[in-house]
Structure 1
């Protein structure tokens, strides 16, 4: 049987009078206007039960054939999920519940019609593969599961901004089109910038360091771009980074700030998102103790004592960390200077003797990574604020002084001691909500295989 053609109405002068959460005892027997999309419907012949979804939740619409024109009733009866409608009607109590309300429509506007059956159930975690879901991401984001995820994401962003602002940080914006690599890596996206080559920014690092000269304490929440050819469930080519930089402190101070920031975020979620947490079945991480700290050298020794094959100076794979740490926040500190970018300060007189080679030239750095289990969430450090030392470190890393002249020149004017960190928003959300795939922590993910939608 072919679908009937349903006429769509103009919005005209209709405007919403109430959101779903405002339908309560205070408006019983009043005429209200609600607008949204159909999340589900039940057809009982001459009676329809329609769930109308707005940004806060569902309102039940009780549609009786005998109380509407046949044209309007048949149109509503034919509508599929995801169609948008506006209802003007009277609020009544549901007969089978003393605490719920529904609306009996007196007028209806059909604003947009869904021509296909819903590809996903809005009430459940979808069994459809993530790539299929991402092809229709706007529809996917209507599912209850992701609605809850992104409401919590919104709380995270608001709480971070609130915490940093209350601690005298200034929110800044830095260029996303740059002339040279921030960290000297190869993982860059080149772009055409008028008549020359430029790159998408991997990090706001050098700019936020410079801004400490003017504002002391700065932060930025913005996208970063990494051309890493990775297909893991924890990597994105475009991610949101929370970058923080503060003058007159070192990396120990910044670990304290980051610890307190995460605690504030968890507290805010606990206060504002109980319904979402319950729906997701999530218990928030335990925040009763400060995050533990273990040095890189101590961790390597522990792994070696556990018969793991790893040498001092190696990166530490997530697989190795899974065997050591559970679902907890912790810092790995004092990484080898050779593994860190050129702007990271080395620890004075801190050398380590490699038991395998006898080499005592392994310089440590004033650096840290914040981890949750085996997932890296943040990296931070004390930065080099002496021009000669910075230039020496750039030379060791094989970087051209000329390429970074725009940055080096400000060091002639006394850059203050400073430290900071970058925190991945999607990874933080992944850790807190135990998401399996980082692509469900961002609206429209970009990775090695996906450039649309």
Structure 2
């Protein structure tokens, strides 16, 4: 729209045209106000009924909430107005009327169940608090990309339609691909490893993954956005350094650049992550969990960390932390084992006190060991020939990790449901919108 002024830019003495949504109408008798909302904020439009054109007043006060309107007029100082200024309209055009009966209240005065909000996500996103979540999410992605470039990574994009799964045939969504079976990729893991075998060496990807998990919890999704990193000539310790760096960069950027959004969400005391993340071995972790006395059954070697165990350990540590040196049997085939102890892997997880965020480790780069890992986990190496054969042509030592953007947003902002960090979630019950 030509000559449009955003509400936040309207100054006393200006003649402006603003456009946006009707947030609220307040009729006080001889005088009435229309509150117009756009991407930058709100502005008050004043109607003095006895001194204005009757049609203009009727149009302005007869429009329903959330209709899209354009208002032209003079900006005047008004300390009692929500933003200290108001517009006396010379014209008002209804660009798109809204039905008077709305499925939810975008003003936020009336709460709605999350299912109703997700069914009407466009309306839901008109609420400042909801917008704030996605502005923070965008800042996280910007900061992470910038950090990756600072550590000499190349951004890549890998296929999302594949012939085989990253970790076998479970948790895969099958599709028909020109008459043959294919799958939606559950991870770029194998492709990013192939890339570090090229001359790119150090890569990252931010993109969707698809997992046909049967989970139906507040922290699981069937489509998620993953941040993946892989680098040649580093070990799992150096990979953890980069991982920690990305999270610290994200928190720092949000603290510096999202003050208004954090305030809307009640985080006026938001702090960056200044301290180094503790690194516990798996053995130390299960001993520490057991010592809390907060789990029903004591953990033994080989157990995964249950939700109960994660909660107990998170409360005990009180910050982000790594768990390293996991048992080989519970880590994927591509994670390298310690040469002096094949029962112990070089895999690691990064944990927030509430939940797991990151899975990573040093990868097995030796062809014979990699093929043996496939067989040990009951997978057919021939189905992954496109991947394994490249390890015969000089694959360097390498390590990497991945984490979901949604879990970072969820834990950073204390959201109760991961779906609040996704524009249009995909889970077992939701395929639309």
TM-score by length of 2: 0.94
Question: Structure 1 98/449 Cα, relative in aligned 2: closer, same or farther at 3 Å?
Answer: closer
Three-state SS of the structure 2 residue aligned to 1:96 is coil
TM-aligned CA deviation for residue 169 of structure 1:
1.0
Structure 2: tracts of 5 or more residues without a match = none
Q: Distance in 2 between matches of 1:148 and 1:429?
A: 11
2:104–2:116: 8 Å Cα contact kept in structure 1?
A: no
1:61–1:104: 8 Å Cα contact kept in structure 2?
A: yes
Do structure 1's residue 396 and structure 2's residue 366 form an aligned pair?
A: no
Equivalent runs, 1:164-175 vs 2, <5 Å: 164-175=148-159
1:296 is aligned to: 282
- Counterpart of 1:50 (choices 34, 50, 53) is 34
Q: Distance in 2 between matches of 1:121 and 1:96?
A: 25
Three-state SS of the structure 2 residue aligned to 1:324 is helix
1:381 is aligned to: 361
Do structure 1's residue 419 and structure 2's residue 408 form an aligned pair?
A: no
My pick for the range that moved more, 136-145 or 277-286, is 277-286
Question: Structure 1 193/97 Cα, relative in aligned 2: closer, same or farther at 3 Å?
Answer: closer
1:192 is aligned to: 176
2:8 is aligned to: 21
Q: Distance in 1 between matches of 2:109 and 2:276?
A: 34
2:200 is aligned to: 215
**Deviation per CA, 1:117-138, whole angstroms, max 9, x where unpaired?**
3443334386321112111111
1:319 is aligned to: 308
2:329 is aligned to: 338
Q: Distance in 1 between matches of 2:416 and 2:81?
A: 37
Three-state SS of the structure 1 residue aligned to 2:99 is coil
- Counterpart of 2:228 (choices 238, 243, 249) is 243
Three-state SS of the structure 2 residue aligned to 1:294 is strand
Structure 1: tracts of 5 or more residues without a match = 1-13, 352-362
Question: Structure 1 155/64 Cα, relative in aligned 2: closer, same or farther at 3 Å?
Answer: same
- Counterpart of 1:263 (choices 248, 261, 264) is 248
Q: Distance in 2 between matches of 1:220 and 1:301?
A: 35
Q: Distance in 1 between matches of 2:81 and 2:20?
A: 23
TM-score by length of 1: 0.90
TM-aligned CA deviation for residue 185 of structure 1:
4.8
Question: Structure 1 126/65 Cα, relative in aligned 2: closer, same or farther at 3 Å?
Answer: closer
Do structure 1's residue 310 and structure 2's residue 299 form an aligned pair?
A: yes
Three-state SS of the structure 2 residue aligned to 1:219 is strand
- Counterpart of 2:164 (choices 180, 199, 208) is 180
Three-state SS of the structure 1 residue aligned to 2:380 is coil
2:285–2:313: 8 Å Cα contact kept in structure 1?
A: no
RMSD (Å), alpha carbons? 1.8
Question: Structure 1 170/286 Cα, relative in aligned 2: closer, same or farther at 3 Å?
Answer: closer
TM-aligned CA deviation for residue 299 of structure 1:
1.3
